[in-house]
Structure 1
Amino acid sequence: MNYIIHLNAFLDKAAKEKWMVPYHYSLYMALFATWNKLGFRKIFSIRRDEIMAAAKIKAKSTYYRALKDLHAHQYLVYYPSSQRQCPASVAMIPLDGRTRPSKEPPNTKMDTAMVSLDGPLLKTNIKLISNDVSNSLPELEEVLKFFSTNQYAREEALKFWYHHEATSWLTGNTPVQHWQPLAHKWMLNVSKTNNDNNENYDQPF
């Protein structure tokens, strides 16, 4: 891996991307610096707090949004951790058209676990974590509009958004990928709770 060639390729490509904003640049550069320190491993573990600090990103939601965007646009492959005690992993995609990382998740039993990347190259239509923009983390206005369209209470939209914003849009230890089904499930739980509360407790058991 040639440090200068890759970095120049990134800057040239990123300059043409209309969707990129400063936090995409800062996150990529933080990951690139980590990759460089680790000798350009094919896959390496990342710790969220360390990468956020290096990228000067303060909000977890911004961090995950930027990470998913970089994955979706094939700047890297993001492997969420399947175990709470293990960090997530990242594979930086070479920008010179050479071998792409495997889309199979790495073995995360140990922080330093690596996987073989001798399999077939990733195709251009790699199965992405986020297949379209509807899967990105929503802003409050987007949630309010979604709840209104489905005739859900505005108050529940606010509760839903602030709850998940506070938990960094994680379910367990995995970033939320499809928030709309989660919103429907939220309202089903609200409906069930209301029905339980409306039971007539004056009737003898």
Structure 2
Amino acid sequence: MNYIKQLNAAFEKFFFDDRLNPTHISLYMALFQEWNSSRFADEFFVNRRELMRVAKIGSKSTYHRCIVELDKWDYLFYYPSKNPYKGSKIKMALIETSDEPDMGQYNPKLEQLAERYHPIREPVVYQHHPTNGQAVYPHRPVSGQALVSNINNTKQVNINKQPKDRQAVLYFFKEKGFSADEGKKFYEHYQERDWKTSDEKEVRDWRGLAINWMDRTELLDEKNKQNKKGASQNRDNLRTTKIKDYGQPL
């Protein structure tokens, strides 16, 4: 998988696609980073809450509209999950350009776009040319091809598959706006199962699992509110304030 080739092709497609707005591009770049972090796997799972945070999308409806449209317009393949404990699956489409640029030719505009949306995070160190003393940027070879650092291309291995203790879980739930009781339920649920999922696989990221738990809790709370509202309306319909006098003659 050629990182720069794929990203350049995506930017070229953005330029000619008038259907896109900034939210589409922001979401695509967030998904591209997740794809990069999974080492460009054929398919990978995503968490809606985390994607919305990275892409700076504040509305669930906006998120779902944009990801469905990106699927419709052949930027990716979106497989929504019906399991509240399992994220949706994404397969990124390989984009090809009609006029493929020469990868040995330095293109400053494309490099600026790449650095804007996915900057290299290592410090810039200038070296002196061994013959003429001219400062040389080490990430741009003599041939002119721009190189991309692989420092942030992969996520660090998650060594905290399980929480340190229950207090860490309670703090995490409180940070996300949930009660300590809900955090306690989550901790005890998976502690009893030795931190394994329903398919007997070890938990890879307890924080991601906790976020899925929170999403499911919100859905259940909303459903319970709707049920209570419907039951209250039914009770009101059965009540009557009109007093009938059956003693009056017909």
Structure 2 length as normaliser, TM-score? 0.41
Structure 1 length as normaliser, TM-score? 0.49
Q: Bigger radius of gyration, 1 or 2?
A: 2
